[in-house]
Structure 1
Amino acid sequence: MPRVQVSLGTRRASALELGSEEMSSANLLQKDAADEALFNSAPAHSPVHGLPPEVLAEIFTLISATESPPGVRSHEHPTGVRAARRLHSLQVPCACVCSEWRRIALSTPSLWTSIHVEYGSRIDEDPQSLQQFIARSCGLPLHIHAHGPLDDEGSDDADLRSTRTVSLLAHLSHRRWISLALWGPFLLQPLNLTLLHKLVIGERAEECLDHLRIWPRLRHVELHLRDAPAAIPYWPALTSLHLVFVAGSTSYPYNEASFARVLIREHRDTLEKLILEDDFYSMGHTAVDEDEDEDDVCEIPNLMSIDLRGPTFHILDNILTPRLSGLAIHDPSPFHEEELFRAYFASNSIVARNLRSLELISVPMNDHQDLIPIVEALSSLERLVVDDRRNDRKTALPNLLVWLRVPDDDNAHIHLPNLVSLTLLCRVTRDMGPTREALREMMQSRSVGRVVGGVQVKALRELTTNMGSQYQIPQTRFIA
């Protein structure tokens, strides 16, 4: 048997290299024979072979979902991995291990519901294999991911092959598509995607929007805009919108900003979650607020969550959000000072009363003392995240921690009594003694729920810091 032969050869080589005089040829042969007999009488079996087929099928499904997550960008995979998947694009890896695993894989329809089309794919040359793959999903909804080129591999020929493959796939199965991610320059014909629930359009595929518009069940849309589409799409069931402004066109950011404003306004009655991301802030542009009419205010009655990344904060001046419960600000750039945040909450008392979650990531402030006037009015706040690790100034975190500490005095004012989750990340320096001391006192004062001065203070259930596991609730791994 190969495994035994390798073991015997290794032992003989080791004996010769060591120059052992104690181990004679006879001893070697005798020991080898004993080892071989033992190997034949008690073959090794991996515990995985003892698992029931239904458990293995569930494991295969979880692995498959991890390897090919919906909406993944082509450049997020190393070239070698992508090339390997291109060669086996119509095969599930676990089906190639052994005949038993292949039988289980072929009888598990959920393994065949995620179809990845690599850039330059030639699957269109073998439509029978593609049809077989689709048939293995047994009528389940399909997740389609068409990947775009890496920076150095784009070509007209590869564009054409990819378009042919996606078109063939659409011809065979488009009525079963539940999610679609397009990251390449695909020229598709109009499709009637009645089941589509999620759509991702990459920066190289904006033109597809001109043909992909009338879908009654579409709820989640992510658009990466380098150039604004010619027409404004309307999706009657849209609840989640993620817009990413990408630099590159000569008209940026004006056409994209106008498109974004109209798109948000068209879906104001159904939107519940809004994410705006601008990756061009280093040039000083602000895509969302260019040429914005201050009197042109749009009410979005059902919007509950806003995530603003880059210089998109000014959109808050032009929308009314009476049901907003979650707000996240990421790196708004140095052009937006803390006065804007204070003014926003001061002028929106409804938002201040309803807000449950606030995230401030790399928000420029003079010190954490500037944060106190912002959160002081948020009486219902349950979750607060402050990430100031990019701040090169000395941290003033102790001021905030002292402010959050619950005093024993019944006559004292209680700040944020509903706070149950707190994340504080700062630039760690050598002189962190005062910060750690203030953190310990704050943790102790909020360790249990209690009534102070007639106010019910909730216990802090989650605390995340980057100052050591002893400063976390529950105490888990250290966060750098």
Structure 2
Amino acid sequence: MVFPLASHLGTNYCPTDEELPEIKALLIQPALRLKRVDDEIAVLQKAIDKLADERESLTTYLDGYNALLSPVRRLPLDVIQEIFLACTPTHRNCVMSALEAPVLLGRICSSWRSIALSTPRLWARLHVVEPGPPSFGSINPILVETTGSKSAAKAAQRLDQVKAWLGRSGQCPLSISLHSQSEGFISSPSFLQELISFSRRWQHVDFTLSPGTLNSISHLTEMDVPLLESVKLSHHYHSLSATLQLEHFRIFRAPRFSSFRLVGNNFVGRDIEAMPLRWNQLTVLEMTGSTWQSSVTSGIALRILRQCPELRICQLSVNDNELDLDGHAPGPIVELRSLLTFRLQSHVMESSLVGLLDRLSLPELRYFSLHASGAHGPLSLAEIFARWAQLERLEISGNTFSKSSLLDSIRNLPDTLKHLAIHDALQASSSPLDDDVLALLTEVSAPCPALETLLLNYCTNISDEALLLFITARMSSESKANLTCVRVTFQRSITLDILPSLQPFVSRGLDLSITHIPILVHEVESSPWQGLSDNALPDPWSPYFSQF
């Protein structure tokens, strides 16, 4: 069929006066046909709408009765409560948010809300964030006053929510964490005072507050906290207006007390020994902070550990800046037969560090982490590692060792070791962590035959070729090792792309991550990278061990 003027359709062509009647005549029949089609569609649409209404009515009828047959309706109340409890976080306390249980469970239906509100165990764990003070960056006094009023109203509202939450917990033991946003300020005592009213049901508490506010719980005695098992006290590093009076904290004498964590350096080392703790029943002890500010010396650490025969987890920040005769002098061996995890941050000379570890007997140790920022000289832990026959996880800073001492220490690692992490310092061009270390782990009779995970952070002196040889040897069919994870961060540009060669191992299940972070060298006068966030390198001592 020939369509007149078809070549002009879809263009900007303007018809002539003679062509206009012709075009209008062409449109008469199609317009009539279009009207008939629209009429037919209307009839059919009416029939479809009628069927759709009937379908909706039938669906509503069926859904209503099928809901009565739902298996959830037949679950016993105690089973539903256990399901609700399984919905709450297991690694931390619950937060006051409708995005997660238990608050979220009350938003589903009235029945679930009733069950949630009547299940005390759902409300026995709580994380509270105390609202921070108003910003003082503005010079407008009206704006400051308005912001302060809003902050006070928010704090009052949140305090009411805390009361309501804990009021639903019945008589259950409580796990509570309170975090103040008032860094550099005195924390408000209102939230802590409200929590103190529930002290007889405290089981686990974690307070991050200013030292002055933390001292307000020193009036509590062991009779006020009969269920208390663990305490974690943290304070802001910039809150220097007061120190923790730990020797006055009588809650540490609670009959079930077994876990003590202290984060921060506003304390005096000798006062730690004076704390009224039940040292002999502690299973967890952590005293951490900036090592160069810590008042815990090697001698203090040994005297404390000597009183803790039941320890299973220990983390210490030790500083021997001053002469510590007890820490350097020979003494009896401290035996910790139950210790499984030992994390040590130290700012000491190598002789003090070796002396400290040499006087510890840890026959069941499984995980050891060492960050010795102040060690100098050929630190060697070969003899110590050889004694830890059950060690499975090791995390160390490579710049703590000399080349020979690092190799000796690795050679003496027990055959049980499965996870090894070595961190280098930023821009450590003289680091002992180089190809020889990987070559040692690549040999036929290499140390750590059971190695599963290798983490190398900020390598400068390890080549891509050495890493390729290590992974290939460890993943070969002749190797008895079970290498499952390799994560390496190079502090340099890539020289050889080894990923294609390693792809077969990745296909077999190897968790592989290789990252190259070149050092950016800037001109003195200007740099095209200046001011960019990706110019900053990540912290080499981020919690890498959490990947174990």
TM surpasses 0.5: yes
| 1:227 pairs with 2:266 | yes
Distance 1:387 1:128, change over 3 A: closer
Q: Shift in Å at residue 214 of structure 1?
A: 0.8
Instruction: In structure 1, give the amino acid aligned to 2:509.
Output: Q
Distance 1:297 1:268, change over 3 A: farther
Unaligned segments of structure 2, at least 5 residues: 1-33, 132-154, 237-242, 489-498, 515-548
Maintained 8 Å contact 1:362/1:391: no
Counterpart selection for 1:142 from 169, 174, 180: 174
| 1:437 pairs with 2:462 | no
Distance 1:431 1:315, change over 3 A: closer
Distance 1:37 1:433, change over 3 A: farther
CA distance in 2, matches of 1:338, 1:473: 43
Instruction: In structure 1, give the amino acid aligned to 2:469.
Output: E
Say how many residue pairs are matched: 404
Counterpart selection for 1:103 from 105, 111, 114: 114
CA distance in 1, matches of 2:331, 2:106: 56
For 2:372, the equivalent position in structure 1 comes to 332
CA distance in 1, matches of 2:107, 2:247: 38
| 1:464 pairs with 2:486 | yes
For 1:69, the equivalent position in structure 2 comes to 92
For 1:359, the equivalent position in structure 2 comes to 394
Q: Percent identity?
A: 15
Counterpart selection for 2:281 from 237, 243, 253: 237
For 1:162, the equivalent position in structure 2 comes to 191
Instruction: In structure 2, give the amino acid aligned to 1:65.
Output: P
Counterpart selection for 2:206 from 171, 181, 191: 181
For 1:116, the equivalent position in structure 2 comes to 127
For 1:410, the equivalent position in structure 2 comes to none
CA distance in 2, matches of 1:39, 1:311: 74
CA distance in 1, matches of 2:309, 2:303: 12
Distance 1:104 1:90, change over 3 A: closer
Structure 2 SS opposite 1:441 = helix
CA distance in 1, matches of 2:406, 2:507: 23
Maintained 8 Å contact 2:486/2:512: no
Maintained 8 Å contact 2:120/2:168: no
CA distance in 1, matches of 2:418, 2:101: 45
Distance 1:422 1:62, change over 3 A: same
Distance 1:128 1:421, change over 3 A: closer
For 2:413, the equivalent position in structure 1 comes to 378
RMSD, aligned CA: 4.6
For 2:149, the equivalent position in structure 1 comes to none
Q: Per-residue CA shift, 1:386-434, capped at 9, x if unaligned?
A: 3347665599665344433463xxxxxx343652433243558996244
Distance 1:196 1:446, change over 3 A: farther
Q: Shift in Å at residue 111 of structure 1?
A: 1.2
Counterpart selection for 1:475 from 509, 516, 522: 509
CA distance in 1, matches of 2:50, 2:290: 69
Instruction: In structure 1, give the amino acid aligned to 2:447.
Output: L
CA distance in 1, matches of 2:85, 2:257: 25
CA distance in 1, matches of 2:450, 2:486: 13
Distance 1:28 1:275, change over 3 A: farther
When normalised by structure 2's length, the TM-score is 0.60
When normalised by structure 1's length, the TM-score is 0.67
Counterpart selection for 1:404 from 421, 426, 441: 441
Instruction: In structure 2, give the amino acid aligned to 1:309.
Output: Q
Structure 2 SS opposite 1:144 = strand
Maintained 8 Å contact 1:404/1:416: yes
Distance 1:61 1:208, change over 3 A: farther
CA distance in 2, matches of 1:97, 1:179: 30
| 1:270 pairs with 2:270 | no
Unaligned segments of structure 1, at least 5 residues: 1-19, 73-81, 278-285, 408-413, 449-458
Query: Equivalent residues in 2 for 1:9-88 (5 A)?
Result: 26=42, 34-35=51-52, 37-42=54-59, 51=72, 52=75, 57-65=81-89, 69-70=92-93, 85=97
For 1:217, the equivalent position in structure 2 comes to 256
Q: Shift in Å at residue 220 of structure 1?
A: 1.8
Q: Per-residue CA shift, 1:96-154, capped at 9, x if unaligned?
A: 3311222332454431221334426547769984663121xxx44321222223438x5
Structure 1 SS opposite 2:198 = helix
Q: Per-residue CA shift, 1:136-185, capped at 9, x if unaligned?
A: xxx44321222223438x55xx6131232122222xxx1x3221112122
CA distance in 2, matches of 1:366, 1:128: 53
| 1:301 pairs with 2:335 | yes
Distance 1:436 1:267, change over 3 A: same
CA distance in 2, matches of 1:470, 1:107: 55
Structure 1 SS opposite 2:176 = strand
Q: Shift in Å at residue 237 of structure 1?
A: 0.6
Q: Shift in Å at residue 309 of structure 1?
A: 3.3
